[in-house]
Amino acid sequence: MKFDPYPHHRFSRRQLIKYASLSGMGLFLGSCANEASRVSPIFKPLNQQSGNVRALFEPLNQSIEELIFQAKNPAPEYPLSAIEPNALLINSYDITPLIDPNSFKLVIDGAVNNPMQLSMRDIQTLPLTSMVIRHVCVEGWAAIVQWGGIRLYDLAKLVQPKAGARYVYFESADNYYESWDIASALHPQTLLAYQKNGQDLPVENGAPLRLASPIKLGYKQSKWITRVTFTNELFQQRRGYWVEEGYEWFAGL
Amino acid sequence: MSPKSPNPKSPPAPKQAIFIKAFHSINLIALILMTASGLQIYNANPVFGGRAGWRFPKEILLGGWLGGGRNWHFASMWVFSMSLLIYGIYIFLTRRWKHRFASEKDIQALQAKNPKRKNYAWHRIAYTAIIPILLLAILSGLCMYKPVQFAWISGLFGSWQNLRIAHFLTVPIVLIFAIAHIFLSFKVGGFKMIRSMFV
């Protein structure tokens, strides 16, 4: 699967899948036999079972991921010399939104005692955490990156999640959305980052604010975050953009 | 069967324990599923060359896209690793590992002049050697699947790229083994022998 570097000139992934399935029906009706013959006859029936295979095994995989996840155990950190500045590839599902950092406000709400709105200036006066970690993409590549920002844990101390809060939702300016289990969200290396490799976060990497973490796959680390919502329940139809497309929800490393 | 075989020169068909036949078939299917879905994952970002790298043809891929490939890979890994684990326990309990796998005797047989013994020895060495390769596939896969939780073993591979290469290389190695395995078992026992491993 290839990500599109110029997405606003093309279809979004969701549209693409819609059109692809329509053209798939075309194949079924035999309108273009050439294309159909390129699909393996052995694996074609199995490909159609991918959703069922996921439904069968993902609960097992997730329960084991949650079991082995150690909330207090930090992921390895690397020296600054280990940073691979060119290894971090840019992935985005749709547009690259431009946000004015001067008028930007981060909303933190939901199952919390003190809902808040913070400007970038507010966020930058809070303690800065810096880490050099391995960022792992679902596609298989990885990059050693330095991220600087505020720990979600430190923000949670300010807003005080209620006792029943078990999940955290992240909404982005490009309409991307993700949800995390609260233990991973409050891990000491889960940051809302505004620095990358010692410099201000570039807009294509999610400026002004993005999630950065060594304990989840890259697609869990939303860019251009505008809203953080603590909740007691997971909305089954809105667990995450890529999760709806077929990636794992927990996606822990 | 009568004690006198109609053709005394033809040796009896080899017999395998039902458990071994079952394991052999399950392992073969699991390996095909693991490889086909693994190559689907490979194509999302080729180990060699990254986004500009060469990709495997669609015909041999399982999953349809990266997400589907991952679903199949992380489902088949259970079938693959658990059947291997149960097999390991079985060969340990039955002490099969002592007399069915390659040993020093086979190394000696390779130096001897008896060609039949040489074939037996090569055959045993081939199917013994593959066991550590299958274990390496599981280990390197686990190191990429959960690099933080298994940081202590992931670190042994040095870099992420080394880890990806090690995991990927198990595919051509297993493929070469499979070809050698079929060829050698045919040499050792003919079709009867191959048949005996499945039905």
Tell me the per-residue pLDDT of A10-65, one tens digit each, with 9 for 90 and over: 445 544 444 444 444 433 333 333 444 456 677 888 988 888 999 999 999 999 99
CA-based max dimension of chain A: 63
Which stretches of chain B sit within 8 Å of chain A by CB?
Answer: 33, 36, 41-45, 47, 50-51, 58-68, 70-72, 74-75, 78, 144, 146-149, 151, 155, 160, 164
**Cβ neighbours of residue B131 under 8 Å, at least 6 residues apart?**
B101
Look at residue B179 and tell me whether its pLDDT is greater than 70: yes
Say what the pLDDT of residue A44 is.
Answer: 85
Q: What gap in Å lies between CA A25 and CA A74, rounded to an integer?
A: 48
On the question of a cis peptide bond just before residue A208, with omega within 30 degrees of 0, the verdict is yes
Tokens standing for residue B48: 């060699």
Look at residue A103 and tell me whether its pLDDT is greater than 80: yes
Q: Report CB contact under 8 Å: B149, A70.
A: yes
For the segment B145-151, the average pLDDT, to the nearest whole number, is 93
Entry pTM:
0.85
**Cβ neighbours of residue A88 under 8 Å, at least 6 residues apart?**
A135, A143, A145, A196, A205
Say what the pLDDT of residue B156 is.
Answer: 87
Give per-residue pLDDT as tens, B47-99: 999 999 999 998 899 998 999 999 999 999 999 999 999 999 998 888 777 77
Look at residue A4 and tell me whether its pLDDT is greater than 60: no
- Give the closest-approach CA distance of B62 to chain A in angstroms: 6
**Cβ neighbours of residue B55 under 8 Å, at least 6 residues apart?**
B42, B43, B46
The angle subtended at Cα A183 by Cα A219 and Cα A237, nearest 5°, is 50
Q: What gap in Å lies between CA A201 and CA A173, rounded to an integer?
A: 16
- Give the closest-approach CA distance of A68 to chain B in angstroms: 7
Say what the pLDDT of residue A16 is.
Answer: 47
Give per-residue pLDDT as tens, A210-250: 999 999 999 999 999 999 999 999 988 889 999 998 899 99
B112 pLDDT band, cuts 50/70/90, is confident
Q: How many CB atoms lie within 10 A of CB A205?
A: 20
Counting residues of chain B whose pLDDT is more than 90, the rounded percentage is: 48
Say what the pLDDT of residue B122 is.
Answer: 85
Contact A171, A235 (CB under 8 A): no
Say what the pLDDT of residue A135 is.
Answer: 96
Look at residue A3 and tell me whether its pLDDT is greater than 70: no
B113 pLDDT band, cuts 50/70/90, is confident
A176 pLDDT band, cuts 50/70/90, is very high
Q: Alpha-carbon Rg of chain B, whole angstroms?
A: 20
Q: Report the residue of B72, B73, B77, B148 to disrupt the A interface, i.e. the one with the largest count of A CBs within 10 Å.
A: B148
Look at residue A180 and tell me whether its pLDDT is greater than 80: yes
Q: Report CB contact under 8 Å: B70, A38.
A: no
**Of the candidates A47, A77, A20, the residue with the CA atom closest to the CA atom of residue A212:** A77
Q: Report CB contact under 8 Å: B44, A138.
A: yes
For the segment B178-195, the average pLDDT, to the nearest whole number, is 85
Look over chain B and give the mean of its residue pLDDT values, rounded to a whole number: 87
Contact A222, A178 (CB under 8 A): yes
Of the two residues A80 and B97, the one the predictor is more confident about is: A80
Q: Report CB contact under 8 Å: A76, B58.
A: no
Say what the pLDDT of residue A6 is.
Answer: 38
Say what the pLDDT of residue B10 is.
Answer: 63
Contacts of B47 in chain A (CB under 8 A): 140
Of the two residues B198 and A239, the one the predictor is more confident about is: A239
Look over chain A and give the mean of its residue pLDDT values, rounded to a whole number: 85
Q: How many CB pairs under 8 A join A and B?
A: 98
Residue A114's identity, in one-letter code, is: N
For the segment A132-153, the average pLDDT, to the nearest whole number, is 96
Q: What gap in Å lies between CA B147 and CA B57, rounded to an integer?
A: 29
**Of the candidates A38, A146, A111, A52, the residue with the CA atom closest to the CA atom of residue B59:** A38
**How many alpha carbons lie under 13 Å from residue B154 in its C-beta half-sphere?**
19
Q: Which DSSP string corresponds to chain B?
A: --SS-SSTTSPPPP---HHHHHHHHHHHHHHHHHHHHHHHHHHHS-TTTGGGS----GGG-SSSSHHHHHHHHHHHHHHHHHHHHHHHHHHHHTTHHHHSS--HHHHHHHHSS-HHHHHHHHHHHHHHHHHHHHHHHHHHHHHHHSTTTTHHHHGGG-SHHHHHHHHHHHHHHHHHHHHHHHHHHHHHHHHHHHHHTT-
Q: What gap in Å lies between CA A214 and CA B146, rounded to an integer?
A: 11
Q: What gap in Å lies between CA B199 and CA B194, rounded to an integer?
A: 9
Q: What gap in Å lies between CA A4 and CA A218, rounded to an integer?
A: 16
Distance of CA A46 to the CA centre of its chain: 28
Look at residue A120 and tell me whether its pLDDT is greater than 90: yes
Q: Which of residues 37-96 of A touch B (CB under 8 A)?
A: 38-40, 43, 46-47, 50-51, 53-54, 56-58, 60-61, 65, 68-70, 75-76, 89
Look at residue B110 and tell me whether its pLDDT is greater than 60: yes
Look at residue B32 and tell me whether its pLDDT is greater than 60: yes
| Residue in chain A nearest B51 by alpha carbon | A2
Residue B23's identity, in one-letter code, is: F
